[in-house]
A = this chain, B = another copy of it.
Amino acid sequence: MKQLNIGLIGCGFMGRTHANAFGKVHHFFDLPYRPVLKAVCARNQDAARAFAAKWDFESFETDWRKLLQREDIDAIDIASPNDTHAEIALAAAKAGKMILCEKPLAMNGPEGKTMVAAVEKAKVPNMVWYNYRRVPAVTLAKQLIDEGRLGRIFHYRAKFLQDWTISPELPQGGAGLWRLDLKVAGSGVTGDLLAHCIDTALWLNGGIDRLTAMTETFIKERKHNLTGKVERVGIDDACAFLARFRNGSLATFESTRYARGHKALYTFEINGEHASIAWDLHDLHRLQYFDHRDEGRVRGWRSLHVTDSDQPYMKHWWVPGLQIGYEHTFIHQVADFLEGLGNGRPASPTFREALDTQYVCDAVLKSARTQKWEKVPGAVKK
Contacts and interface: CB of A to CB of B under 8 A. Distances in A.
A296 interface: yes
A323 to B, nearest CB: 5
A59 interface: no
A305 interface: yes
B154 A258 contact: yes
Given A250-B240, A254-B157, A273 B297 contact: no
A164 B216 CA distance: 36
A314 B240 CA distance: 31
Given A155-B258, A302-B301, A323-B284, A250 B214 contact: yes
A305 B55 contact: no
A274 interface: yes
Interface string A171-209: 000000000000000000000000000000000000000
Interface of A: 13, 17, 19-20, 23-24, 26-27, 54-56, 140, 143-144, 150, 154-155, 157, 159, 161-164, 166, 212-214, 216, 218, 238, 240-242, 244, 250, 252, 254, 256, 258-265, 271-276, 281-287, 289-292, 294, 296-305, 307-308, 310-311, 317-328, 371-373
Contacts of A150: 260
Highest count of chain B CB atoms <10 Å: which of A256, A294, A305 = A305
Those 7 A-B pairs whose CB atoms lie nearest each other, nearest first: A264-B321, A263-B321, A261-B290, A300-B302, A322-B326, A300-B304, A325-B325
B321 A282 contact: yes
Interface of A is mostly: mixed
A286 to B, nearest CB: 8
15 contacts: A13-B319, A26-B54, A144-B298, A154-B166, A157-B254, A162-B321, A164-B320, A216-B250, A250-B256, A252-B252, A260-B275, A262-B321, A282-B321, A299-B302, A372-B372
